[in-house]
Structure 1
Amino acid sequence: MASRPNIVFIITDQQRYDTINALGFAHVDTPNLDRLAQNGVYLTSCYAAAASCVPARASLFTGYYPHTTGVVDNAATWRHSWVETLADNGYDCVNIGKMHTQPMDAPAGFHTRMIVENKDRSMAKRGREFVDEWDKAIARASFEKPGLPSYSLLNDYADRLGAFEWPLPKELHSDTFVGGLAIDWIERKSSEKPFFLQIGFPGPHPPYDPPVEEAKPYLERDLRIRPVRAGDVESQPEPFQQLVRKHVEGDHDAVRHKVEATAEERHRQRAYYLANVTMIDREVGRVLDALDARGALDDTIVVFTSDHGDMLGDHGHSQKWTMYEQVIRLPLILWSKSGFGRTGPVDAMIQHMDIAATLFDLAGVEAPSSWEARSFAPALRGDDFEERDAVYCEQGRDVVFRFSDFVSMVRTRRWKYVHFLDGHDGQLFDLESDPHEETNLWDSPDHAAERRAMHDRLTEWRLRSGYETREWSEEWR
C-alpha cells in the first residue's frame, strides 16, 4: 500500500447494521458490499457517538464525543473537520453528496464540494432554502422535487409510513445522482496527488423512495420484521413516549408514523427502505468499477459505513433519537486491494469516530494527541488489539427530540444504561438475557447495583473526557 493511499469514504444516511447480506442478513441484496466485506474487514460492534445526523457526523469527522465539541443536536453549528489535516498533508479532498455540515456549504477542509443534502427539507429548521446540486438538476430537467408537499396529497399518505414510489426518471433519484457525480469526478480527475473522496449517499434516509420495480423483490420476501411487544412503548421513559407521540402527530421527513401499523404497512416500509439500500449498493459497484478503470484501486482504501440507523417501527419508534441498537449500531467495512493483514469479521467494540484515528494511522498522518478517537488498525492487521470496554452515545434537545435536555448512554458487552438529564426514569438492559431490549430493569431492586455501577461508569467517563480534552477549543467548530 502506498505511504499516502487514496481514501474513498462512503457514508450512507440512516442505514441499520442489519442491511448487508454478507454480514449475516440474507434477506438483503447487496452484492457489491458483500464483495468488499468478504475480501476486506468488517467491524461487527461499531457504535455511533450520537443518535442523530449532525452530532454523529461531527463526532466522526472531528474525533471527539458530542459533549466535547458541543455539537449535540441536529441544528448545531459544525464547520471544521479532520479533513483539513488531510489537506495539509497533501491530499486532494473532495466531498460528493451529503456531509451534513452546518452551515451546509462549510468548506470543512474540502478543496471541492458537490453537495447533495437531505431528500426532504420542507420542514427543516435550517437549510430549507439551501439549493444543492440535486435540486439544480431536477430544476434543469423541468420537474418538481418530490417530497412532503407532493407525497402528502396521496389518498393513503397516512398509511405509507414514509414509503413512496419514486416518480421521476431513475437518473434523478438522489442516490443514483450522487453515484453519477462521483463517477464523473473519478473519470475527470487530473491531479496526481493522493485523494480523499467522501461520497455521501442521502439514502436510505426517508422518504423511502425507490422506483416501484426496485421494491418489488422485497415486497415478495420475508423481511424478518420483529413485532412490537405489547406494552413496549408504555414501559419506556416518558421522553421516548413523547417522541413517539410527536412522530404520530407530525410529518418529519414525510413520515407519518403509526405505532399500531399493520404487518402489511410495516412490510412495505421495510421493503422500500431495503430497496434504497440495494440501489446504493449498485452505485457502490459502479464507483468501484470507475476507480478500477482509472487504475486507482491498487492504492486505495475503501470505507463503507453510515451515520446511524433507523427504528423502522421497532419498539414503536420512527427514525432515530433513541438509544436502541437499531439506531446506534452501525455497519462498517474497510477494504484494500492489497489487504490489511486479515479478512473477515472483527468483533472488537469500537466507537464510530475510531475510523478517523484508523485512517490517519493507515495513511501515516499524525493524529491530535487530544483525540478521543482510537485507532483499530492493529485489528485490521491481525495484531493484538484491546477493544473499548464500553461505548457511549449522546443526544441533545433539538427540533424533533424536544423532551429532554440531554440523553446519555453507556453500553458494555452485557449492559446498556440510558440516562436522562434531570429525569426520574431511564433504561437498563441486560443484553445477555434480553438482546432485543424489551425488559427495562431500571426500577428492578435486584439490579440496583448494576444500575449504580453503570451510572458511575458514565460519570467517570465524562470527568475523564473533560480532563483529557482540556486543550480542545470550542472556537474550532
Structure 2
Amino acid sequence: MSTAGLPNIILIMTDQQRADTIAAMGAHWMQTPHLDRLVQEGTAFEHCVVTSPVCVGARAGLFTGKYPHGCQVFSNFQPWQPTWVSSLANAGYHCMSIGKMHINPYDALGGFHQRLPMENKDRPLFLEERDRAFYDEWDKALRARKLEKPTRYTRFRDDPEGFQRALGVFPWALDDDMHPDHFIGDTACWWIGDRKNTDPLFLQIGFPGPHPPYDPTPEALARYEGVAMPPALESVGGPESLPAAQQRLRENMCRMEIDSIAWRTDATPAEIDNLRRHYAANVTMIDEQVGRIMAALDARGYLDNALVIFTSDHADALGDYGHIQKWTMYDTVVQVPLVVWSRNLPVRQQKLPDLVQLFDVAPTILEAAGLPVPPDFEARSLWPRLKDDKAAPVRDVVYSELARDHIQTGSEFIIMRRCTQWKLVMYLDDDFGELYDLTADPGETRNLWDDDAHRTLRERLQRETMTWYLRGTLQAGRKPGRKPQGALRA
C-alpha cells in the first residue's frame, strides 16, 4: 500500500485538564501561549464531553470508538486494547506512544509499534506489591539519577498533619527536568529528533499532568503569584440537595487520600484558590512542553503535512460543589479541551459551540488516513465541521457513563444525557437524580429534579435516555460500514 501523501497524525493528550484552562478559549487567568496558537490557527470545540469521567473509561472509548456500554470498559482497572491503532499500523504508519496511555496492563502495546510508558505521577510502590510492581520510564530515570520518587509516603514523611493540610498541593522539590511533564516533553523531543523521517507517523503523547498531585515547579508557580482564580461553584441547597452517591463520593475522597489528596469538605476559599493556582501552573508547564514538541516536529518537517489534535481524558472539579477530581457528571468534570490544527489539511480557523464527544477523535483520525471507519463505531467524524462551518453539527445530544468502582461506591451505574439546554443525570439505584437548565443555570447550581414544573420534561428525558442506552447496547456492532474517502489533502 502506498503511503505517499498520508498526513502525519499527532495526538497530544493531558490527564484531567479542564476545558477552562486555555487563555484563547476565554480563561483570561491562564498563561498558555502555545495552546493559544493552536486555538487561533485551528478549530477549537467549546463543548467536548467525555464518554466517561474516569481515565480508563474515557481512553478506552477514544481508542475503540465506543461508549463504555459498547466496549464494556467502565472502571480504571479493566483491561482493554485499542483497535484502530492497528489499522494505522497496517496502513503503513509508524505508531509510537510516549507517556501516559493508561492501558491495562500498563505495558501493553495496544497496536503501537513501540511505547515508552509513564503512568500516574503518584503511583506508590507498596512494599507488599513489589513483586508485581510496574516500573515505567520515569521510574527508571529517577533511579538512574538516584532520586527518590515523590509519593504520598515520601512527602511530609515526618509531618502527617502537614500532609492533611496540603489538599494535594506539593510544589516540585526535585530537579526541574525530572518533573514528569518536563520528562515527557524531553523524551518526546529526543525521540522526534532521533528518528528517521520515513514512514508517515502516528505519534500519541500522553502528559501525566495536570492530574494530581498538584506539583508545579517553583518557577511555574511564581507566574501565578497574586493571580485570582475563579471561585468554586456551589450547589443551591448544599450537598443535601444532591443524590446520595455524591455525598458518598465526598466521604470516600476525604477518607482514602486518592492521588496524594487528603480532601476536606471544609476547605476555605483561600485554600481552593491556592490549589487552583498550582493546577494552573501545571497546565502552563505542559503548554511550554507542547511548544517544544511542535518546534521539534516542525524542525524535522513533520508539520508540513500533519494533523495535530490536543485534548484530555476528563477534567477536575477543583473544589466545585464540594468535590475534587472526577467521578461526577458536572461540566467542570466531563468537558475537556479539543483543538484540531493543520497547516495543509482543510481545517478551518474557528471556535465552534458544538456538542461533540472525546471519542469522535477516532473516526476523524481514521478518515484523515484514508481508512474506513469500523461499522460498530458509535463515534462520529468531526471532518464535516472542521472543513465547513456551515455544515450541520455532528451531534445534538451527548452522553457519559460511569459504573461503581472502589472510589465511586454510591451507585451501581450513572448515566448522563446533555443537550444544549438540559442535562439529566440518572442513578441506577436511586429514584433521585439531577436535572439542570443549562441556559438559565450554566453553573449547574440548582437541581430541578423534584421541581413540579419540570416533572413532565424530566420523565421524557429519562425515557429518551433509556431508549438510547438500550438501542446502543443492542445495536453495537451492527451499524452499516462506511467507505473510505481517501486521505485528506489540502
Q: TM-score, normalised by structure 1?
A: 0.96
**What is the aligned partner in structure 2 of residue 149 from structure 1?**
153
The one-letter code matched in structure 2 to 1:327 is: V
Separation in 1, partners of 2:301, 2:129: 41
**What is the aligned partner in structure 2 of residue 309 from structure 1?**
315
**What is the aligned partner in structure 1 of residue 382 from structure 2?**
376
Task: Report if the CA contact (8 A) 2:329-2:400 is conserved.
Answer: yes
Separation in 1, partners of 2:270, 2:264: 12
Cα distance, 1:152 vs structure 2: 4.4
Deviations 1:87-110 (A, max 9, x none): 111110000000000111111100
For residue 224 of structure 2, give the secondary structure of its aligned residue in structure 1: helix
1:137 aligns with 2:116: no
Deviations 1:117-140 (A, max 9, x none): 000123899998210000000011
For residue 153 of structure 2, give the secondary structure of its aligned residue in structure 1: helix
Separation in 1, partners of 2:197, 2:277: 41
For residue 57 of structure 1, give the secondary structure of its aligned residue in structure 2: helix
Task: Report if the CA contact (8 A) 2:229-2:276 is conserved.
Answer: yes
Deviations 1:269-288 (A, max 9, x none): 10111100000000000001
Choose which of 44, 57, 61 in structure 1 pairs with 2:59.
Answer: 57
Cα distance, 1:341 vs structure 2: 4.6
Does the C-alpha gap of structure 1 residues 254 and 341 become closer, same or farther in structure 2, counting only changes over 3 Å?
closer
Deviations 1:370-429 (A, max 9, x none): 210111101111151333121000011112111111111100111111111121211111
1:387 aligns with 2:425: no
Gaps of 5+ in 1: 473-477
For residue 218 of structure 1, give the secondary structure of its aligned residue in structure 2: coil
**What is the aligned partner in structure 1 of residue 445 from structure 2?**
438
1:180 aligns with 2:182: no
**What is the aligned partner in structure 2 of residue 475 from structure 1?**
none
Most deviating of 441-450 and 462-471 = 462-471
Choose which of 214, 230, 251 in structure 2 pairs with 1:245.
Answer: 251
1:47 aligns with 2:49: yes
**What is the aligned partner in structure 2 of residue 190 from structure 1?**
196
Deviations 1:344-388 (A, max 9, x none): 202221111111111112221111012101111011111513331
Cα distance, 1:339 vs structure 2: 4.7
Cα distance, 1:340 vs structure 2: 2.0
Cα distance, 1:468 vs structure 2: 2.6
Task: Report if the CA contact (8 A) 1:58-1:81 is conserved.
Answer: no
Separation in 2, partners of 1:462, 1:437: 24
> Percentage identity across aligned positions?
43
Q: How many positions carry a matched residue from both structures? A: 472
Does the C-alpha gap of structure 1 residues 341 and 276 become closer, same or farther in structure 2, counting only changes over 3 Å?
closer
Counterparts in 2 of 1:21-100, with a 5 A limit? Answer: 21-100=23-102
1:112 aligns with 2:114: yes
Task: Report if the CA contact (8 A) 2:45-2:352 is conserved.
Answer: yes
Most deviating of 261-270 and 381-390 = 381-390
Gaps of 5+ in 2: 480-490
**What is the aligned partner in structure 1 of residue 483 from structure 2?**
none
Task: Report if the CA contact (8 A) 2:234-2:445 is conserved.
Answer: no
Choose which of 348, 365, 369 in structure 2 pairs with 1:342.
Answer: 348
1:447 aligns with 2:454: yes
Task: Report if the CA contact (8 A) 1:44-1:346 is conserved.
Answer: yes
Task: Report if the CA contact (8 A) 1:58-1:78 is conserved.
Answer: yes
The one-letter code matched in structure 2 to 1:46 is: C
Most deviating of 400-409 and 120-129 = 120-129
Cα distance, 1:83 vs structure 2: 0.7
**What is the aligned partner in structure 2 of residue 405 from structure 1?**
412
Does the C-alpha gap of structure 1 residues 230 and 444 become closer, same or farther in structure 2, counting only changes over 3 Å?
closer
Does the C-alpha gap of structure 1 residues 126 and 186 become closer, same or farther in structure 2, counting only changes over 3 Å?
farther
The one-letter code matched in structure 2 to 1:430 is: D
The one-letter code matched in structure 1 to 2:404 is: R
Cα distance, 1:151 vs structure 2: 2.0
**What is the aligned partner in structure 1 of residue 484 from structure 2?**
none
Most deviating of 152-161 and 183-192 = 152-161
Most deviating of 356-365 and 297-306 = 356-365
For residue 431 of structure 2, give the secondary structure of its aligned residue in structure 1: coil
Task: Report if the CA contact (8 A) 2:19-2:336 is conserved.
Answer: yes
Does the C-alpha gap of structure 1 residues 142 and 359 become closer, same or farther in structure 2, counting only changes over 3 Å?
same
**What is the aligned partner in structure 1 of residue 485 from structure 2?**
none
Separation in 2, partners of 1:341, 1:304: 14
Cα distance, 1:470 vs structure 2: 4.0
Separation in 2, partners of 1:339, 1:360: 14
**What is the aligned partner in structure 1 of residue 487 from structure 2?**
none
The one-letter code matched in structure 2 to 1:64 is: K
The one-letter code matched in structure 1 to 2:137 is: E
**What is the aligned partner in structure 2 of residue 8 from structure 1?**
10
Task: Report if the CA contact (8 A) 1:175-1:201 is conserved.
Answer: yes
Choose which of 203, 207, 220 in structure 2 pairs with 1:201.
Answer: 207
Separation in 1, partners of 2:135, 2:191: 20
1:367 aligns with 2:377: no
The one-letter code matched in structure 1 to 2:88 is: L
Separation in 1, partners of 2:50, 2:475: 20
Task: Report if the CA contact (8 A) 1:7-1:300 is conserved.
Answer: yes
Separation in 2, partners of 1:227, 1:325: 11
Separation in 2, partners of 1:219, 1:269: 12
**What is the aligned partner in structure 2 of residue 462 from structure 1?**
469
Most deviating of 92-101 and 262-271 = 262-271
Task: Report if the CA contact (8 A) 1:123-1:252 is conserved.
Answer: no
